[in-house]
Amino acid sequence: MHLSEILATLAANRFATASAILFVVGMAGMIFNRNLFKKVVAMGFMDSAVFLFLTSVGFVEGRLAPIVTDPSVPASAEVYSNPLPAGLVLTGIVVSVSFTAFSLALTMRLYKKYHSLDIDEIMMKSQRNED
Amino acid sequence: MAAVIQTILLIGLIVCAVAANFTRKLLPTVIIYATFGTMISVIWLLLRAPDLAITEAAVGVGIDSILFLVAIRRMSRLDKTGEETPQETAEETGEGAAEN
Amino acid sequence: MRPFYENFPFFCIFLTMLCGIITTLIHDGKKARYVTIISLFLCAAMNATVFIMTAVKGVNFTYTMGAFPAPWGNELRSGPIEALLATVFCLVINFSLMGGKKDLELDVLPEKKNMYYIMMDLLAASLFALCYTNDMFTGYVFIEINTIAACSIVMAKDCGQTIVATIRYLIMSLVGSGVYLLGISILYSITGHLLMPNLFTAVNDIIFDPQLRYPLAVVAGMICIGLTVKSALFPFHTWLPSAHGSATSSSSAVLSGAVLKGYIILLIKIVCRVFTPRDISYLGAGYILFILGAAAMIYGSIWAVRETHAKRMIAYSSVAQIGYIYLGLGLCTTAGIAAAVFQIIAHAFTKPLLFVSAGGLIDASGHQKKLYYLRGAGWRCPSAGIGFTVGGLSMVGLPLLAGFVTKLVLGQAALAEGIPQWQMITALAAIGISSLLNAWYYLPAILQIWKTEDEPLGPNGEVYSEGRYTPSRPFKVAVACMCLLVLILGCAARPLMNILIQGVGLL
Amino acid sequence: MKTDNWFQRLVRWTNGDSKPLHEPQAHVEFPKKETPEAPEAPFEKGPSLLKSSAGEITNFSLMVVSMFCCGVLILVLLLTVAYLPRFGSSYNAPVNEVSQRYVEQGVQEVGATNLVTNIILVYRGFDTYGESCVLFLGATAVIMLMAIDRNNTTKKDLEELEETEKMESKNRNQIIRHVTMILMPIIFLYGLYILCNGHLSPGGGFAGGSILGGALILCETAFGVKKVHSFFNHKVYHIIKVGALILYAVLICYTIFVGANGLENIIPLGKPGSILSAGIILPINVAVGLEVACTMYAFYIYFGKGNL
């Protein structure tokens, strides 16, 4: 595969390309950023990246949103786009909210106890308390 | 035309995600997060997934940012040094809810 | 009309979920406890029925969740291995709850006890679902339930250290599930399916397609990485010792005995049902799992040798034992996978036994957690001492105990025909070195707890040697049952191995 | 200690006095880190939290390593994307018999004209039930952490909480109050519409429920926690949440059991397109919506106040 070919495909699959970059940015934020609050925000970005990719998989050029306008006429699969990815993403969004809330609650408790959001500092303090 | 709008929005998403990692304060991070949510819900409209757009606008932009703001308010109250104005935060929270 | 027992997997999942929801209204921790334990014993009975029915006939069955057949609706699929593992999980959770009762009362506030049992109920439900599911996305949803419940039972102790451990655990887990979800999304985009049997045919079609082979390899890698992060394989194990070492003892027992295994079962099912073991080794993921497993066996043991904190030592030993499972899985043969499943079962009983009895010993020594202060604790609380001894010796690999059989079957699987020579040598060397290292840290610990002369005083000069410490009856029952199960697994392994090999064929 | 020969070490080990690999009396002193004060911009006046606990990567080598890892990962993923089928084409693998049946027979088989709702609530109802359990667990976990108890709250904290409560009620903003008076009914109505029309138009339980939750939160910010508690207190919260979840569980259990055993489903589907149609979807949407609204409000209130 030539580089030009690859670039052309990347441009055509722009949603997938963007979500790949977003995913890595979010994951890097989750792993390397020391601020707990930002880890939580980065988690939101990472999840959104996956959802973006999944939704773009369901899109078909020139088809309508999967809501049947006239139920008396049998729907044709040629008219509506694929509804399955949207269903999966809907599930995923709600899951990610509960995780956001949970990790924020943990962050707040840690801030209350150690007065810091820096994970390294918090770990150092908690180990010192233990010894 | 559609492709151009989509590309602009996608670049905006990436810029938001990178910017959120490098802001100094926490409040801008939340605002960037809300911007990100708004953009992604527009993208979902473009991708013909209106269910997702509504849910993201309500959950990702509304509830998530409210939670972040409340967390910041609670934590800054724990900071004894801070004399932050509750009114300001309350207004923002109200706006977040009204966006729904 | 299907036979009635085929409904049991579905009943188990929903029974535990409903118990969890109803427990919200029960504010009395004691009643919540009874509800949980009774429902779990019921589930154990139901899962055992499914196991016996399927193992005797040597079949598996699918169960449509709703009126719509498989590619459209959800589906459960059950065979001997799934049912056996679900039974094991019920028993493990129950024994851990029984054995860790005293610690639980100390560590968890009374008004929050019912929430602890909610988490346990839903944890059990998610483990059953992970065992039985036949759909990748259902797997993802229940992985998330499992994650949140597992994190909550770590933080239930509610001191600074456990919250730090929880957030580290949570972040690593979320990275893992994000990677897993991206993996199944890419898989969906190239095959168009989420159901395992349909994926199997689709993957068989495209595996030699030069265009799609690379995405497929990335997918295999991502699914493996996502699930190994969550099950704490060697380079991703950093969260495990702090989470398992600092939680209350029933939580540690459940986490190491059941939670880690849930993800591995899903991985085994994906390896067998979506890909074939041969495909996995063709795509290169099998070798990576094998090498990481071997590295984990040695690395975890070395860190356990250096550790002086009793529960963290056991937690590092978990890292090593998880390595055994991945070593078997990485061999990518039926015998290897059967050995991995056997190790899952053996470790599922041995590690909770160790954690629960360590909790008892620590209790008998005035809550001092360093190994040094546990000296003589075996005499103060004989049941806990016996439990620790049996568990430790099983880990070391004493014949007639479960751990020995694991090493034996793993060795046999590695020596079978068709395994490359370097894998053979690596596997045998890793098993040998790891056993030696296990002996190095478990034997002194066992010797110490039975030592009578020069018992230490507590840091403030307390004397523990006077008076015996009386453990509660559930504790004794739990320790006795788990010791017995470890012995049975060690003595009667041959028939079980036959069932497992048959079951892996049916996966 | 280090001068011991191997035999003495062995003896000490068998006595359980020391660990062979463990340095005797290893006491790790954590170096006190000098955190350089970040240069303060003149407009940055405020609590220290909002100022400079950004926690960026300060260590240079770590930064290089992380950049390298990210670069490699991005390259791997982009190469994968390059091999993926083309975006938006109708020949892609996901456009297969599975999605075809969802589109063509969804309305007849399940009854809702919103095909996404069909999928998440009926075809793949088990997944979605698991998802609402995640929400339930999230709420339980947050309550477990944030509810006021003797572990996380001291007397001083309680006093402080009361003080802020008083201060907030004193200078509650008039503008917000009036705007809320006007907006509240509209938002509630909108939420209910989205909730109950989930099988006919975009939306459904999750979106509608979070809008309702948002309305409750707005109510709390404008009128104070006491006003909200007059109609939504701890007891009501528990009853609604558990009731909704049990209703959901019973409905989904019934459909699964009946469907799997080939029995006849007695719930009528109704005429597609009317509000009372689509069998179990409408009650499930209402149940989910109530649960989500309760959960969102609980998140908010436990974050801010620590009790409901």
Do the Cβ atoms of D204 and B51 come within 8 Å?
yes
Task: Let me know if residue A1 belongs to a domain.
Answer: no
Task: Let me know if residue D146 belongs to a domain.
Answer: yes
Higher pLDDT, D11 or B33: B33
- Residue B17 and residue B41 in contact, taking contact as beta carbons nearer than 8 Å: no
Interface of A with D in 56-95 (CB under 8 A): 56-61, 63, 65-69, 71-72, 74-77, 79-80, 82-87, 90-91, 93-95
- For residue D48, name the pLDDT band (cuts at 50, 70, 90): very low
pLDDT at B22: 84
Task: Let me know if residue D19 belongs to a domain.
Answer: no
Name the nearest CA neighbour of C156 among C143, C165, C145. Answer: C165
In chain D, % of residues over pLDDT 70:
80
pLDDT at D259: 83
The span from the CA of D117 to the CA of D202, in Å, is: 9
- Cα angle C76, C77, C79 (rounded to 5 degrees) comes to 145
**Interval D133-156 mean pLDDT:** 85
Q: Which domain holds residue C18?
A: 4-506
D177, D211, D219, D294: which to substitute to probe chain B, counting the most B Cβ within 10 Å?
A: D211
The span from the CA of D111 to the CA of D274, in Å, is: 10
- For residue A103, name the pLDDT band (cuts at 50, 70, 90): very high
Do the Cβ atoms of A59 and B48 come within 8 Å?
yes
Do the Cβ atoms of B66 and D217 come within 8 Å?
yes
Q: Residue C309: helix, strand or coil by DSSP?
A: strand
> Which range has the worst mean pLDDT, A31-40, B43-52, C51-60, D104-113?
D104-113
Q: Residue D194: helix, strand or coil by DSSP?
A: helix
Taking CB atoms and an 8 Å cut-off, how many pairs form between chains B and D? 125
Higher pLDDT, B1 or D119: D119
Cα R_g (chain B), whole angstroms:
15
Interface of D with A in 21-50 (CB under 8 A): 30, 33, 49
Does residue D152 register a pLDDT over 80?
no
Helix ranges, chain D (H): 6-14, 48-52, 60-83, 97-109, 115-118, 125-146, 155-170, 174-196, 205-223, 225-231, 234-260, 281-304
Task: Please tell me if residue A111 touches chain B, with a CB cutoff of 8 Å.
Answer: yes
pLDDT at C122: 92
Do the Cβ atoms of D57 and A34 come within 8 Å?
yes
Please name the member of C161, C170, C178 whose beta carbon is closest to the beta carbon of A126. C161
Output the six-digit token pair for D239: 């009853």
At D189-211, the pLDDT tens digits run 998 998 888 888 888 888 899 99
Task: Let me know if residue A18 belongs to a domain.
Answer: yes
Do the Cβ atoms of C163 and A106 come within 8 Å?
yes
Q: Residue C382: helix, strand or coil by DSSP?
A: helix
**Interval C328-352 mean pLDDT:** 90
Do the Cβ atoms of C148 and D141 come within 8 Å?
yes
C133: left (phi over 0), alpha (psi -120 to 50) or beta: beta
At C113-165, the pLDDT tens digits run 888 999 999 999 999 999 999 899 999 999 999 999 999 999 888 888 888 99
- Residue C167 and residue C156 in contact, taking contact as beta carbons nearer than 8 Å: no
Does residue D169 register a pLDDT over 80?
no
Burial of D193 (0-12, 13-18, 19+ CB in 10 A): middle
C174 contacts on A by Cβ (under 8 Å)? 30, 43, 46, 99, 103
Q: Chains C, B in contact: 3+ Cβ pairs under 8 A?
A: no
D114 contacts on B by Cβ (under 8 Å)? 51
The span from the CA of B75 to the CA of D304, in Å, is: 10
The span from the CA of D205 to the CA of D248, in Å, is: 12
Mean pLDDT rounded to a whole number for chain D? 77
DSSP C77: E
Q: Residue A67: helix, strand or coil by DSSP?
A: strand
Number of domains in chain A: 1
pLDDT at C276: 84
**Interval D7-15 mean pLDDT:** 62
**Interval C347-368 mean pLDDT:** 86
Please name the member of C64, C192, C193 whose beta carbon is closest to the beta carbon of D260. C64
pLDDT at D23: 45
Q: Which domain holds residue D280?
A: 113-304
Q: B12 vs chain A: nearest CA distance in angstroms? A: 10
At C188-226, the pLDDT tens digits run 988 888 888 888 988 888 888 888 888 888 998 899 999
**Interval D178-185 mean pLDDT:** 88
Question: Which stretch, C342-346, C371-375, D64-68, has highest mean pLDDT?
Answer: C342-346
Do the Cβ atoms of C218 and D76 come within 8 Å?
yes
DSSP C374: G
Task: Let me know if residue A35 belongs to a domain.
Answer: yes
Chains near B with 3+ CB pairs less than 8 A apart are A, D
Number of domains in chain B: 1
- Residue C156 and residue C248 in contact, taking contact as beta carbons nearer than 8 Å: yes
Task: Let me know if residue A67 belongs to a domain.
Answer: no
pLDDT at B99: 44
Do the Cβ atoms of A104 and B33 come within 8 Å?
no
DSSP lists the bridge partners of residue C77 as C62
Task: Let me know if residue A8 belongs to a domain.
Answer: no
What string of H, E and C letters represents the secondary structure of chain A?
Answer: CCHHHHHHHHHHCHHHHHHHHHHHHHHHHHHHCCEHHHHHHHHHHHHHHHHHHHHHHHCECCCECCECCCCCCCCCCCCECCCHHHHHHHHHHHHHHHHHHHHHHHHHHHHHHHCCCEHHHHHHHHHHHHC
**Interval D176-181 mean pLDDT:** 86
A50 contacts on B by Cβ (under 8 Å)? none
Does residue A21 register a pLDDT over 70?
yes
Q: Which domain holds residue A95?
A: 14-60+82-130
B6, B30, B43, B70: which to substitute to probe chain D, counting the most D Cβ within 10 Å?
A: B70
Does residue C110 register a pLDDT over 80?
yes
Q: Residue D272: helix, strand or coil by DSSP?
A: coil
Output the six-digit token pair for C493: 């392994």
Taking CB atoms and an 8 Å cut-off, how many pairs form between chains A and C? 79
Do the Cβ atoms of C151 and A102 come within 8 Å?
yes
By CA distance, what is D96's nearest residue in C? C192
Task: Please tell me if residue C235 touches chain A, with a CB cutoff of 8 Å.
Answer: no
Interface of D with A in 110-169 (CB under 8 A): 113-116, 118-120, 124, 127-128, 131-132, 134-135, 137-139, 141-142, 145-146, 152
Number of domains in chain C: 1
A116: left (phi over 0), alpha (psi -120 to 50) or beta: beta
- Residue C315 and residue C244 in contact, taking contact as beta carbons nearer than 8 Å: yes
Task: Let me know if residue D286 belongs to a domain.
Answer: yes
> Which range has the worst mean pLDDT, A76-80, C78-82, C175-179, D98-102?
A76-80
Q: Domain of A18: which CATH number?
A: 1.10.287.3510
What string of H, E and C letters represents the secondary structure of C241-275?
Answer: HHHHHHCCHHHHHHHHHHHHHHHHHHHHHHHHHHC
Q: Residue C64: helix, strand or coil by DSSP?
A: strand
Q: D251 vs chain B: nearest CA distance in angstroms? A: 23
What pairing do the DSSP bridges indicate for beta strands C61-65 and C74-78? antiparallel
Please name the member of A20, A32, A101 whose beta carbon is closest to the beta carbon of D77. A20
Higher pLDDT, B93 or B7: B7
pLDDT at D14: 57
- For residue D52, name the pLDDT band (cuts at 50, 70, 90): very low
**Interval C174-182 mean pLDDT:** 93
What does the CA dihedral C203, C208, C212, C216 come to, rounded to 10 degrees? 50
Task: Let me know if residue D84 belongs to a domain.
Answer: no
> Which range has the worst mean pLDDT, C270-284, D28-42, D241-255?
D28-42
Mean pLDDT rounded to a whole number for chain B? 78
Number of domains in chain D: 1
Output the six-digit token pair for B72: 């910041």
D128, D303, D305: which to substitute to probe chain B, counting the most B Cβ within 10 Å?
A: D303
Please name the member of A17, A90, A127 whose beta carbon is closest to the beta carbon of D78. A17
**Interval A70-81 mean pLDDT:** 77
In chain C, % of residues over pLDDT 90:
32
Please name the member of D49, D51, D210 whose beta carbon is closest to the beta carbon of B75. D49
Do the Cβ atoms of C161 and A130 come within 8 Å?
yes
**Interval D37-60 mean pLDDT:** 42
Task: Let me know if residue D143 belongs to a domain.
Answer: yes
The span from the CA of C288 to the CA of D78, in Å, is: 22
Helix C334-364 to helix C402-415 angle (10° resolution) is: 160
Helix B86-98 to helix B64-78 angle (10° resolution) is: 170
Please name the member of A29, A52, A64 whose beta carbon is closest to the beta carbon of B43. A52
**Interval D30-51 mean pLDDT:** 38
- For residue D1, name the pLDDT band (cuts at 50, 70, 90): very low
> Which range has the worst mean pLDDT, B26-35, C451-460, C490-499, D40-49?
D40-49
At C9-40, the pLDDT tens digits run 899 999 999 999 998 888 888 888 899 999 99
Mean pLDDT rounded to a whole number for chain C? 87
Q: Which domain holds residue B22?
A: 2-98
Task: Let me know if residue D251 belongs to a domain.
Answer: yes
Do the Cβ atoms of B47 and A104 come within 8 Å?
no
- For residue B92, name the pLDDT band (cuts at 50, 70, 90): very low
ipTM: 0.90
**Interval D165-183 mean pLDDT:** 81
DSSP D223: H
Output the six-digit token pair for C333: 């043969």
**Interval C34-60 mean pLDDT:** 90
At C398-436, the pLDDT tens digits run 888 888 999 999 998 888 888 888 888 988 999 999 999
Name the nearest CA neighbour of C487 among C337, C376, C386. Answer: C386
The span from the CA of C295 to the CA of D85, in Å, is: 38
The span from the CA of D3 to the CA of C376, in Å, is: 29
At C457-504, the pLDDT tens digits run 666 666 665 556 777 888 889 999 999 999 998 888 888 888 888 888
